[in-house]
Structure 1
Amino acid sequence: MVINHSSLLLLFFFSTLFIIPINSQLLSSIIHCSDTSGDRNTYIIHVETANATKFLAREARERYYRSFLQPLSSSGEQLMLYSYMHAINGFAARLTEAEVKTMMKMKGFVHAQKDQEYNLHTTHSPDFLGLQQDHCFWKESNYGKGVIIGVLDTGVMPNHQSFTGEDMPLPPAKWKGICDFDIPVCNNKLVGARGFLRGCRNSPVDDNGHGMHTASIAAGNFVANASVLGQAKGNASGIAPKAHLAIYKVCYKHCHGSDILAAIDQAISDGVDVLSISIGGRPDPFYDDHMAIGALAAVEKGLFVSSSAGNMGPKESSVENNAPWMLTVGASTMDRSIRVTIKLGNGEEINGESAYQPDNFPFTMLPLIFPGEKGVVRAKTCSDGSLDGINVRGKIVLCETGGGVNNSIEKGMVVKNAGGIAMILMNQGKQMLTVKARAHVLPAAQISYGDALRIKKYMKASPVATAGILFKGTVYGTPVSPSIASFSGRGPSVINNGVMKPDIVGPGLNILAAWPSPADCGAMPTFNMLSGTSMAAPHLAGVAALLKASHPDWSPAMIKSAIMTTADELRRDGKPISDETGNSTNYFATGAGHVNPSKANDPGLVYDIDIDDYISYLCGLGYSDRQVSAVARRYIECLSRKAITAEELNYPTFTVSVASESQKTVTRTVKNVGENNAVYTVQVDAPEGVKVDVYPEKIEFSEINQTVVYDVYFTAGDTSDRIGSVSEGQLRWVSGKHVVKSAITVSFV
């Protein structure tokens, strides 16, 4: 593959501004709609199912929904944006606050919520996950053949080699979706594409890059000689390379809940099997969380939903997408580094990363300068104009990440325009060890916070500080992987009242995947490296697709359980998974651990959850009947059913709270999916400060799909000195072949 480095550098710079040139022939026609007239806003309206309406057809359902709008629009103005069939019982419409209050008095009204905005949150990652070509699990699952993955994101550029239909089978007969481009570009890989923008048909073309990046991670084709600026070269592929892709563009300048609901609604109708959603927002109660509501509808129809944990870590309780029916995925590192070594004047060497590795940059000791040494924030972060009046010409310039003004590419432009010859990008405290391999516009290296402190210490001790930079290319086998990326959202959840989140972690740092080609690259497929939990979620969507292909009778909860109870807890060097500081971490960062696809294919036992249990859990959260009904999409009277707490949900992990001198009993049900005549014995690492007993201590199965119930007794002594603290442990069911692990988190109250 011939790479035009200058073109790609421009691509990386402009992509940060969302100005990527695209092939205009691929643009589908756009219907422009306006929902900004007067003082109207978009509201999502939940209504009861009408007894007299069977809703066998979309037209009948829409007529019923419009009956709520007819008294509000004497002028005949079009108010409705979406009429939902599956995601909710209800619709999205443009309404004033007064009109919503009027609607609240109508018979059949359940709940109204103003539309909200959501945010967008790989040559080596399949190999890192143990999925080498012709690997047993990949072969057993037929590489995801016959499974349809729906991706809700910023769309797709269909002419990329990752999405060609060569050697792909026809989609399954159940597929009912369409390809909404003006020219016929869909195929047996890319089986469908639609755009959703405020109730209107719109182009599904990706003018951002994020969508095709996530789609190719989940199910991109094998593409030989993929690289970014010549680095990380290898055969790129998605986790489920033979799965089909259905693209639902829901993010244009913004991502709106009404559009997300419409896409989920359509995906259910189209026949999608797995949803990959790398989008999140503020943690609202579930009755106001449009994505959580739509996801529950999808799970009830048998779809598996993989979602991103958010990028606000390492802040505590920063995890997003907290619903227990979704898989919530945090981001981890891989064992690949795009290595740059900085040699200081005192002989110390520091390793950093950069995707831009110039061949002709000489190793020379150059003057080293930190414009922000006097504490001026703009100079620290090399913001626009901050280097005016500072002599950086011919020097290596130190810049800190962040600042909220410009990104790392733009910082490099500031340094380059001021005459700097190279840049060292230093992580600030919260980012610690997580280092991103970016494509810079000048020779550069990003380094960890700890290494930044080493450089600053050297500069203080040296009257004339110097440094040289060595570009070493792609290095594999980093022993401290996987570790948790600093930005990965952390628990505990502030919404779900005790379900452990995130559920799992997967690769999310420096992930190479498909990217729109610049106009001057012709048909050459290009790739980019991005980092975020946005990249982790499609990895798990791909794993779910493989498991779906291998075990078509497994429910979404069973697939989720298999992924969680077989997760890895150790790094490649045999030590516990570490966080961004290099220290061992906790379940609020790792969830059950790091995904191991091959082990997930044969978990031995699984924890299944019936949809009705989620409804009982919602009642246990203390929601009103109307609020629960909005999430459940049918009338629910909580007094007529047994409400359960999060602790009682048949989840693959245990999160309990105990008071001093108390005992709590939690019941779980496991299903045998291993072999006949299996016997498991329990092993417990009790959290410090609590005694854990399990009854029975041995469980036996005589056949596949047989279930067994067991109880776990948590007994606390005098824990008054532990109030407000958290302790961790683990429960394991062990047979001769399987180890089924469940994380335990105990909060002392």
Structure 2
Amino acid sequence: MEAIVISLMFMLSLSPSMAMPEVINGKTPSALSTYIVYVTETKEGRVLTQSSKRDRESWYKSFLPVSTSNSDKEPRMVYSYNTVVSGFAAKLTAEEVKEMEKKRGFISAHVEKILPLHTTHSPKFLGLQKDLGFWKESNFGKGVIIGVLDTGITPNHPSFNDVGMSPPPPKWKGRCDLIGAACNNKLIGARNFANMSTPFDDDGHGTHTAGTAAGNFVKGANDFGQAYGEAAGVAPLAHLATYKICNEAGCRESDILAGMDAAIADGVDVISLSVGGGSTAFYGDVIALATFRAIQKGIFVSCSAGNSGPSPRTLSNEAPWILTVGASNSDRSVVATAKLGNGKEYDGETIFQPEDFPLKQLPLVYAGGIANGSQETAWCIPRSLRKGNVKGKVVLCERGGGIGRIEKGKEVKDAGGAAMIIMNDEDAGFTSLAEAHVLPAVHVSYRAGRSIKAYINSTTSPTATILFKGTIIGKKSAPEVAAFSSRGPNVQSPGILKPDIIGPGVNILAAWPFNIANITNTTSTFNMISGTSMACPHLSGVAALLKSNHPDWSPAAIKSAMMTTAEILNHKNNPIANEKLFQANAYMIGAGHVNPSKANNPGLVYEIQPNDYIPYLCGLNYDDRQVATIANRHVKCSKVQRMTEAQLNYPSFSIIMETTAQTYTRTVKNVGKPGSSYCAEILPPAGVSIIVKPKLLTFKNTNEKATYSITFSRTNQTVEESSEGYLSWISTDHVVRSPIVVSFEGNAAAGATGLHV
């Protein structure tokens, strides 16, 4: 979703000083913009702690300009941040910021950006069963608080009922700002930080992500009668606290920081954030800054990877303290089939499955081939089909052109078309989406679309119909990486593999704030949508389950448990594939697909304490001020032993190979049984030899730690770009697997490996 800034210009019949821009020192000042301003944590040598909130606000206000005009009646301070950063958001001109730079204690300032959102069967697909196993053992996330920062909440939705819920824990310090509705033991907090709005969700995205993470059990959930069953979030008995930071204009950085500031102070355990911009240095990335403060407080953070795939280097949220989540499909499909006049059939998907659509063949036409059709006509953009004769026909439209698939269907319907087949572009491959189309439709793969085009060109009277087959469970090739899921390598920190993991993000059914009767005649309050926005809350829910079962685990331990137990094979025991059905690489799946039950008992974990990131950040060649902005404390990199990226105690390896050997160390902690032993098993990447010392790790006690070294050396084998392998520590009960990606002297790539599966 692209962020759109809407500005309203008013002509006011007020005094001349109000109507005309003020002139100061012979210059007309620039317009006011909202700036994020970072300042030092100290005032006159005194550290400003949270307990001195009044002093902090006074310190911040000392940076603001003194008003020189009675016309300056708009409050300058937008937010005064107490937890996430040392700084504030304020409305300033560029000239005022220039003056501010001269003041002692100023660090940096930038005009805030507007970031986009990354937009019943999932628990079962993840191996969670209601009456046994990990889901039951974890008490369904009972007692854990998930903070969802998104577009708000629909408090009266049945997914947020509090049947079976205990009261919030005593540590909860948040509040409920709903007017005309009430919070309960499920939805324990609702706050708004989006301009001129309320905590209520008028978009749907926030309700959907909240329901995915922690929606309570709801029987009879469905969308257009499809995907029928008992809906539940991944952590159905976890508490929810929602923070509205986005509206129709997108998600403003100042609001994101304010929401994070509140969530941390309120006492949440897990933060779920399906928002992100482009790749940005961590010291200039408000999400990286705010989430670092969260992990300093022991809060786990899950963020979406972005929806800019399948192109490489398209990730959002690349910081190593964040769990960065890519999207996969599940084994559930809502199937429709395009049946052509030559008898061939091509399966696709749609959630709208009319029972009365005729089985007889109808005339079939390619949109790009009618009325002197252009590429725009092929995309079925609005008003592109009005001059062509499509009445009563099945119309083949191409995906693309910046026009949504539902909008394409509206154009076909308005032009008199009877049905639509929408074909992927080449990049989207085999990723199909089940959506609420406004007419009979089916979304098919690029390969199927090409075959349908070829059929149209092969005959003077092509025909087709659509067969609606309903919900089918058991797709053996699942999980597959979604085409839209953003890919690595990590631009800001190439020595850290991202994304970390993938989870369900295609055709996810979850709570929706309103019925969609304005489009169809359904009254469903559930909706099926797709995006890494949907994958992120799945992992947030898993984190809540793990936190409930292991309250002493740190955010890094929870993250490690998920990553080292992730699946790299699909349901057919073949390697997980990408959108083109080629073997997916680690820049697509990270450590693999989440397996909650295995994550509950990982055997070993890789711990990282917040202070461990300081030498890592200095090793990125950030200066003292930049590191201090992230760490929220004074740092002198000259007194810190700088760390190379690959030395961070991360559960994966991303190595940029040099001509000489590279040796790194890792430390693992035994969270399994005492008296356990683990043997190293190495699958080396092509072109690399790996030596691990020692090859056997033995633990007498639980929580005991052991350190090993791993050395990477080049071999004589020629590898053009990158290769990958694994290091696994294997005991009688566990396989603790870390992916290894090696790029060769600046040739890092994120393409498919070329293996067809």
TM range, smaller chain: over 0.9
| 2:435 aligned residue | 438
Partner of 1:396: 394
Question: What is residue 503 of structure 1 aligned with on the other side?
Answer: 500
2:701 paired residue number: 703
Query: Which residue pairs with 2:454 in the alignment?
Result: 457
Aligned to 2:587: 588
2:755 corresponding residue in structure 1: none
Q: CA deviation at 1:72?
A: 6.6
Match of 1:241? Answer: 236
Deviation at 1:659, TM superposition (A): 2.0
Shift of 1:529: 0.6
Mapped partners of 2:68, 2:169: distance in 1: 43
Pair 1:217 & 2:215 matched: no
Go from structure 1 to structure 2 and tell me whether the alpha carbon gap of 1:449 and 1:277 turns closer, same or farther (over 3 Å shift). same
Report the residue type matching 2:383 in the other structure.
G
With the length of structure 2 as denominator, give the TM-score of the two structures. 0.91
Structure 1 residue 134: Cα displacement: 1.4
Superposed CA deviations along residues 700-729 of structure 1, whole A, max 9, x for unmatched, are 00111111000001111346x535x10100
Please name the residue that 1:378 is paired with.
376
Aligned equivalent of 1:632: 631
Matches of 2:380 and 2:712, distance apart in 1: 54
Tell me the distance in 1 between the aligned counterparts of 2:265 and 2:399. 44
Matched letter for residue 638 of structure 1: C
Deviation of 1:54 (Å): 4.4
Q: Residues 129 and 502 of structure 1: is their aligned pair in 2 closer, same or farther, counting only changes over 3 Å?
A: same
Deviation at 1:171, TM superposition (A): 0.4
Q: Aligned partners of 1:580 and 1:207: how far apart in 2?
A: 32
Equivalent residue, structure 2, for 1:729: 725
Could you report, residue by residue, the CA deviation over 1:328-364 in whole angstroms, capped at 9, with x for unpaired residues?
A: 0000001111111122112211101110001111211
CA contact (8 A) 1:72 1:99 kept: no
Amino acid at match of 1:628: V
Which position in structure 2 is the counterpart of 1:547?
546
Report the Cα offset of residue 166 of structure 1: 2.1
State how 1:482-501 maps to structure 2 within 5 Å.
Answer: 482-501=479-498
> How much does 1:486 deviate?
0.2
Pairwise mapping of residues 61-76 of structure 1 onto structure 2 (< 5 A)? 61-69=56-64, 71=66
Q: State the Cα distance separating 1:213 from its structure 2 match.
A: 0.3
Identical counterparts, % of pairs: 51
CA distance in 2 between partners of 1:131 and 1:448 (Å)? 30
Say if 1:210 and 1:97 are closer, same or farther in 2 by CA, change over 3 A: same
Distance 1:639 1:450 in 2: 57
1:534 and 2:530 are equivalent in the alignment = no
How far did 1:656 drift? Answer: 0.7
C-alpha contact 2:65 2:96 (8 A) present in aligned 1: no
Aligned amino acid, residue 256 of structure 1: R
Where does residue 13 of structure 1 map in the other structure?
A: none
The answer to whether structure 1 residue 513 and structure 2 residue 510 are counterparts is yes
Partner of 1:266: 262
2:312 partner SS = coil
Deviation track 1:377-417 (CA, whole Å, cap 9, x = no partner) reads 1210111221122111111110111111x311121111112
What are the superposed Cα offsets for residues 665-716 of structure 1, whole Å, 9 maximum, x if unpaired? 0110000001100000000000010100100000000111111000001111
**What residue number does 2:364 align with?**
368
SS at match of 1:430: coil
C-alpha deviation, 1:57, in angstroms: 3.3
SS of alignment partner, residue 431 of structure 1: coil
- Secondary structure at the counterpart of residue 546 of structure 1: helix
**Structure 1 70/97 Cα, relative in aligned 2: closer, same or farther at 3 Å?**
closer
SS of equivalent residue, structure 1 residue 330: strand
Instruction: Work out the CA distance in 1 between the residues paired with 2:408 and 2:300.
Output: 40
Query: Is contact 1:161–1:525 with CA below 8 Å preserved after alignment?
Result: no
State the shift of 1:468 in Å. Answer: 2.1
Find the counterpart in structure 1 of residue 299 from structure 2: 303
Q: Cα distance 1:630–1:569, how it changes in 2: closer, same or farther (>3 A)?
A: same
CA-to-aligned-CA distance 1:157-190 (integer Å, 9 cap, x gap): 1110011122211000000111111234100000
Report the counterpart of residue 681 of structure 2 in structure 1. Answer: 683
Task: Tell me which stretches of 4 or more aligned residues in structure 1 moved more than 3 Å.
Answer: 70-77, 518-525
2:37 partner SS: strand
Does 1:167 find its partner at 2:164?
A: yes
Which amino acid is 1:196 matched to? F
| 46, 50, 72: which one aligns with 1:52 | 46
TM superposition shift of 1:127: 0.6
Inter-partner Cα distance in structure 1 for 2:64 and 2:388 = 63
1:240-389 correspondence runs (5 A): 240-252=235-247, 253-373=249-369, 376-389=374-387
SS at match of 1:479: coil
> RMSD over aligned Cα, in angstroms?
2.0
Structure 2 unaligned blocks of 5 or more: 5-28, 746-757
CA contact (8 A) 2:515 2:524 kept: no
Alignment partners' CA distance in 2, 1:656 and 1:296: 24
Paired positions, count:
709
| Alpha-carbon distance between aligned partners in 2 of 1:586 and 1:431, rounded to the nearest angstrom | 17
Alignment check: 8 A CA contact 2:653 2:738 kept: yes
Q: Is the 8 A contact 1:497 1:621 kept in 2?
A: no
- Secondary structure at the aligned position of 1:57 is classed as helix
Q: Secondary structure at the match of 1:88?
A: coil
SS, match of residue 99 in structure 2: helix
Cα distance in 1 for residues equivalent to 2:123 and 2:501:
17
Counterparts of residues 76-95 of structure 1 (less than 5 Å): 78-95=75-92
For residues 438-486 of structure 1, give each alpha carbon's deviation from its aligned partner in whole angstroms, at most 9, with x where no partner exists: 1111111000001111111222222221112211110110111000000
* Cα distance in structure 2, aligned partners of 1:519 and 1:744: 46
Distance 1:498 1:261 in 2: 27
Q: 2:703, 2:674 → 1: CA distance?
A: 9
**8 A Cα contact 1:111 1:627, kept in partner:** no
**Does residue 559 in structure 1 map to residue 555 in structure 2?**
no
Q: Residues 525 and 369 of structure 1: is their aligned pair in 2 closer, same or farther, counting only changes over 3 Å?
A: closer
CA distance in 2, matches of 1:518, 1:471: 22
Question: Please, what TM-score do these two structures have when normalized by structure 1?
Answer: 0.92
Letter in 2 for 1:218: A
The one-character-per-residue Cα deviations of 1:607-627 (angstroms, maximum 9, x if unpaired) are 010111212111111111111
User: Would the aligned equivalents of 1:432 and 1:580 in 2 still touch at CA under 8 Å?
Assistant: yes
CA distance in structure 2 between the aligned counterparts of 1:547 and 1:282, rounded to whole angstroms: 30
Give the Å deviation of 1:325: 0.2
SS at match of 2:396: strand
Greater displacement, 371-380 / 353-362: 371-380
Tell me if structure 1 keeps the 8 A contact 2:155–2:181. no
Instruction: Provide the C-alpha distance between the structure 2 equivalents of 1:328 and 1:653, rounded to a whole number of angstroms.
Output: 13
Q: Distance in 2 between matches of 1:524 and 1:475?
A: 23
Q: Does 1:673 align with 2:667?
A: no
How far apart in 2 are the matches of 1:90 and 1:388? Answer: 55
Whether the 8 Å contact between 1:517 and 1:523 is mirrored in structure 2 is no
Report the alpha carbon displacement of residue 605 of structure 1 after superposing the two structures with TM: 0.2
- For the pair 1:229 / 2:224, whether they are aligned, the reply is yes
- The answer to whether the Cα contact below 8 Å between 1:162 and 1:514 also exists between their aligned partners in 2 is yes
Q: Compute the displacement of 1:640 (Å).
A: 0.7
Supply the distance in 1 between the matched residues of 2:109 and 2:614 (Cα, whole angstroms): 19
Partner of 1:178: 175
Task: Evaluate the alpha carbon distance shift between residue 363 and residue 555 of structure 1 in structure 2; reply closer, same or farther with a 3 A threshold.
Answer: same
Deviation, structure 1 residue 107:
1.3
Question: Where do 1:144-159 residues align within 5 Å?
Answer: 144-159=141-156
> What is the aligned partner in structure 1 of residue 31 from structure 2?
39
Distance 1:110 1:393 in 2: 63
C-alpha separation in 1, matches of 2:734 and 2:498 = 24
Alpha-carbon shift at residue 60 of structure 1 (Å): 2.2
Indicate if the aligned counterparts of 2:273 and 2:304 stay in contact, CA closer than 8 A: yes
Which is worse superposed, 271-280 or 62-71? Answer: 62-71
1:126 partner SS: helix
Aligned to 1:23: none
Q: C-alpha displacement at 1:197, in angstroms?
A: 2.9
